[in-house]
Amino acid sequence: MAAYSLEEQEKIDGLKAWWNRFGTVLAVLLTVALFAMGGMKAWEYYQQKQAHQAADLYALLQQIQVSDDATKINDAAQLVMTGYPSSGYAPRAAFITAQADEKKGNAKRALQSLQWVVDHAKEAPLHDLARLRIAGILLDEEKYDEALRAISVPYGDSFSGLYLDRKGDILVATHKFSEARLSYQEAIGKLNKTNNYYNIVQMKLDALGEAE
């Protein structure tokens, strides 16, 4: 057995006393930290796996999209939307199925898909785009009050011209020509002159003329 000097023995005794007092707590904390590190890695792996699976399903949806079969497109989109709702692919899948349903005249299901984007998408511009399309469908359905409500919400600056244009369309449909003219004029002020859509809105305004 090794012999220690009095000073060394005092240090050893002090360390023993400290360990007896705090050693168990330290061991527990270290164990928790190690589990936490392992848990973080497991969570990162899980997220990566989820992202890959969502991407694979979205790629499959894009392949099915060319079939122009609204039922098959909707089925594939639902796999992404219900299986991976927090992914960036889910709202984009909703847009794809909404477009297919609009084309086939299934306005009800298209509106449901677009509302899903409003309720679940994390990206604000997707909310703005979804509401714009909702208003367009409701306008076609001659549900003018609902269409106007759909776009009577805060929206991003980049959508200002489009929202004001859609508002003008709704007002024209309800024969409120003076208000429609003002809305189109505001839309033109928000759109870039190099944008083809600028010319479309200008044509609408010109066609409106002095109608009252």
Asked if residue 153 and residue 73 are part of one domain, the reply reads no
Asked if residue 210 and residue 163 are part of one domain, the reply reads yes
In the chain, where does DSSP find H-type helix? 6-65, 70-83, 89-103, 107-120, 124-140, 144-151, 160-173, 177-190, 196-208
Whether residue 82 lies inside any domain: the answer is yes
Per-residue model confidence as pLDDT tens for the chain (212 residues): 455 455 655 655 555 665 566 556 656 666 666 566 666 665 464 456 666 788 888 899 999 999 889 999 999 999 999 988 989 999 999 999 999 999 999 999 999 999 999 999 999 999 999 999 999 999 999 999 999 999 999 999 999 999 999 999 999 999 999 999 999 999 999 998 888 889 999 999 998 876 55
Total domains in the fold of the chain: 2
Whether residue 18 lies inside any domain: the answer is no
Whether residue 23 lies inside any domain: the answer is no
Asked if residue 170 and residue 93 are part of one domain, the reply reads no
Amino acid identity, position 92 = R
Query: Using CA atoms, how far apart are residues 106 and 101, in angstroms rounded to an integer?
Result: 5
- CATH number for the domain spanning 165: value is 1.20.58
Asked if residue 49 and residue 116 are part of one domain, the reply reads yes
Query: Using CA atoms, how far apart are residues 12 and 25, in angstroms rounded to an integer?
Result: 20
Asked if residue 94 and residue 46 are part of one domain, the reply reads yes
Whether residue 12 lies inside any domain: the answer is no
Q: Which of 81, 104, 122 is the last residue of a domain?
A: 122
Whether residue 137 lies inside any domain: the answer is no
Q: Which domain holds residue 195?
A: 149-212
